Amino acid sequence: MKIAFHGQRGSYAEAAAAWMYANEDIATVPCPSTQAVVDAVLDGSCQYGVIRVESSDWGANYEVMNLLRATRVYYVRDIRFHERYNLAGQQGTHPENIKRIYAHPAILYLTSNYMSRLASVEISARYDSAEYLADLLRRGDKHEGTVCGDFAAGIFGLRVLQPGIENSTESMTRFISLSAQKESPPPEVADVSTAMLFELKHRPGALMEALAAFKDQQINITSVVARPTRASKWDYATYVEVAGRYDDERLRVALADLREHTTYLQLLGSFNSIEPRVPGS
* Reduced 3-state DSSP string for 175-193: EEEEECCCCCCCCCCCCEE
- Domain identity same for 61 and 98: no
Q: What is the mean pLDDT of residues 129-151?
A: 90
pLDDT of residue 280: 45
- Domain identity same for 3 and 106: no
Residue 157 main-chain phi, psi, to 5 deg: 70, 30
Residue type, 234: W
Which pTM was predicted?
0.86
- Domain identity same for 75 and 92: no
What is the rounded radius of gyration, in angstroms, for the C-alpha atoms of the chain? 21
Distance CA 221, CA 211 (A): 8
- Which domain does 3 fall in, by range? 1-82+172-180
Q: List pLDDT tens digits, range 228-246.
A: 776 666 678 899 999 999 9
Distance CA 49, CA 39 (A): 9
**CA count, 13 A, side-chain hemisphere, 140:** 1
**Pick from 55, 65, 37, 28: nearest CA to 109:** 55
CB-based burial label for 177 (10 Å; 0-12, 13-18, 19+): buried
- Domain identity same for 256 and 136: no
Q: List pLDDT tens digits, range 152-180.
A: 999 899 999 999 999 998 889 999 999 99
- Domain identity same for 68 and 90: no
**Pick from 243, 240, 244, 235: nearest CA to 258:** 240
In the chain, % of residues over pLDDT 90:
72
- Domain identity same for 218 and 149: no
- Would you say residue 224 has pLDDT above 70? yes
Q: Pick the residue with more confidence: 130 or 178?
A: 178
**Pick from 155, 118, 114: nearest CA to 137:** 155
Last residue of a domain, one of 125, 146, 180: 180
CB-based burial label for 10 (10 Å; 0-12, 13-18, 19+): buried
Q: What is the mean pLDDT of residues 129-154?
A: 90
Indicate which CATH number applies to the domain containing 64.
3.40.190.10
- Domain identity same for 76 and 95: no
- Domain identity same for 157 and 176: no
For the stretch 185-217, what's the b/e string if a residue is b when 16 or more beta carbons lie within 10 angstroms of its beta carbon? beeeeeebbbbbbbbbeeeeebeebbbebbeeb
- Domain identity same for 203 and 254: yes
Indicate which CATH number applies to the domain containing 230.
3.30.70.260
On average, the pLDDT of the chain sits at: 91
pLDDT of residue 161: 96
Beta bridge partners of 177: 50, 77
278 within domain boundaries: no
62 within domain boundaries: yes
Which 8-state DSSP code applies to residue 271?
A: E
Q: List pLDDT tens digits, range 98-110.
A: 999 999 888 899 8
218 within domain boundaries: yes
- Domain identity same for 97 and 120: yes
